[in-house]
A and B are shown apart, each in its own frame.
Chain A
């Protein structure tokens, strides 16, 4: 099958093609799902960014 000597190898090849296709379909279906953080979570995010910036400043 597909030039392979075993079904297992052909299956691995097919799975490698199908897996990213699955990711594409999932990405398209979920394109607008997952809301932006608001309220308290957004405040938490601002605090997180402040700390992250300080951490990056400490890098060489």
Chain B
């Protein structure tokens, strides 16, 4: 344990030093030089990937894959095709140009600038500030669950210790010059995941034998899951069952599409100097994400067969029902001790690279977007509000981390991704491509998508409606559809993700209202699209 602590501290010092060096370089360079400086495609691709992928994907969704099996590979596919290819080619290039044209530095600022609306920027800023701690907590929980399993560190202690370490990292300047530190951290993550993949397939004597071995133990799927629609880890989930809706609508669709409207990823595009850099970064970006989510979900599924062979129990039973502990338990019980140290450093890298961008976005959303722009209080107070925003985001992350229940990482991540998609994706995407979107159309889309999403969470969706208890207090029902027959489609609605309803609603509102309301002025549109040919 002492050795692991020394390694962890040494790692954090190296990352902080790299960040400080990068920051110093930008300090001494002229604006002109910075504008012309090219980013290496490797740095762009890996730093984007490291921000995108965190302990949430490796530990949280890896654990979900251990429960649901290989259907989660559809999410890995969307992470690559939508999260990298579509994001870089169809969102990145235009976001970069529009960001420069509007001199925008945050995601809400791009939206606010595009629609010339303080309300849009402020509303987007406050939504992000309020809810990004839920996602950040999912990342922190992943780290703390590993420490709980691997070092026997109590969960609460883990949350507090890692938060303190991350706060020190922030104070040391960890939010500055993140591109290069993230590229370094991404490299560590990549090495760790490739080794994890090779060791796992070697244990099972090859790729096809490994899959076949998992196929052969399908009869060991817990009965509770079989009743929900689980047909076996390599067979998939029965269409239309509650489990199918949870996996395909919340985990695959919600997270797979939601990535396109992630504020901490969208800002990355604006730091890129040319379309050429994005084209080149694509080459490595897809491989990097395959090595992250593809491997995490594959290994997650295969842990079942290894646990059965070694301990006679499937993964969820090994982790005592908490799916967030499956990957940590696998590393602890099955992987060689030296890999545990590498894994610790790798997930520290995964957590730090994502959390630093989440803290950053939380701070600027409050300081720059809400306080500075929406309230019109620009000036020195904006810097204070940004620092306050970072501090409050860290505190809120700790509080969420302490209060969220077990097996929550994937759900908490899907919640934030879904909320961002339903609130921002239509106005963001259409705003990049269609000059006909109006300010009113954009506002209705954002507020409408957000409200529909929240209504669904509070009154329909099984998990949140039960946890919040508002529906119970108002109507004396867990949710508005749970009392219907379990064979009816109305009853199944409680398992349908809010995004299935909210995202199309948001798109329709954006398009229809824009057709009937006053267009944005030609002069403003010329500014927005001046670098887009």
Contact = CB atoms under 8 A, between A and B. Distances in A.
Interface in B263-289: 270-271, 273-287, 289
B36, B73, B387, B531 — most chain A CB neighbours (10 Å)? B73
Interface residues of A, number: 47
A51 to B, nearest CB: 6
A35 to B, nearest CB: 7
Q: Interface size bucket, B side?
A: 35 or more
B390 interface: yes
A52 B193 CA distance: 34
Given A12-B70, A31-B280, A34-B276, A44 B100 contact: yes
B276 A59 contact: no
A31 B283 CA distance: 9
Interface string A42-60: 1011111111110110111
B81 A19 contact: yes
B34 A5 contact: no
Contacts of B31: 46-47, 49-50, 53
Contacts of A16: 73, 76-77, 80, 290, 294
B489 to A, nearest CB: 23
Interface string B69-100: 11101101100110011000100010001011
Interface in A3-60: 3-6, 8-9, 12-13, 15-17, 19-24, 26-28, 30-37, 40-42, 44-53, 55-56, 58-60
B321 interface: no
A27, A28, A37, A56 — most chain B CB neighbours (10 Å)? A27
A60 B275 contact: no
B236 A6 contact: yes
A34, A46, A60 — most chain B CB neighbours (10 Å)? A60
B286 A22 contact: yes
Contact of A24 (B236, B283, B530): B283
Given A3-B234, A51-B105, A33 B275 contact: yes
Contacts of A6: 231, 234-236
Contacts of A30: 276, 279-280, 282
B85 A19 contact: yes
B276 A33 contact: yes
Contacts of A23: 80, 84-85, 282-283, 285-287
B175 interface: yes
B32 interface: yes
Given A28-B283, A36-B273, A60 B175 contact: yes
Contacts of B99: 48
Nearest to B279: A30
Nearest to A18: B77
B528 to A, nearest CB: 12
B504 interface: no
B505 interface: no
A20 B295 CA distance: 13
Nearest to A21: B286
Given A5-B234, A12-B76, A24-B283, 6 more contacts: A5-B231, A26-B279, A34-B275, A35-B275, A40-B530, A47-B31
A56 B117 CA distance: 24
Nearest to A34: B275
B175 A48 contact: no
A3 B77 contact: no
- Please classify the interface of chain A as helix (H, G, I), strand (E, B), loop, or mixed, using the class held by over half of its residues: helix
B236 A59 contact: no
A24 B85 CA distance: 10
Contact of B273 (A8, A37, A40, A53): A37
15 contacts: A3-B211, A3-B214, A4-B70, A12-B71, A15-B81, A16-B77, A23-B285, A23-B286, A26-B282, A31-B276, A31-B280, A44-B103, A51-B105, A53-B31, A59-B363
B35, B36, B93 — most chain A CB neighbours (10 Å)? B35
Contacts of B153: none
A48 B176 contact: no
Q: Which 3 A-B pairs have the closest CB atoms?
A: A34-B275, A3-B211, A27-B283
A41 B101 CA distance: 8
Contacts of B212: 3
A45 B367 CA distance: 23
Interface in B166-184: 170-171, 175-177
Nearest to A37: B274
Contacts of B235: 4-6, 9
Contacts of B23: 56
A2 to B, nearest CB: 6
A15 B287 contact: no
Contacts of B73: 9, 12-13, 15-16
B368 interface: yes
B265 to A, nearest CB: 16
B468 interface: no
B387 A20 contact: no
B26 interface: yes
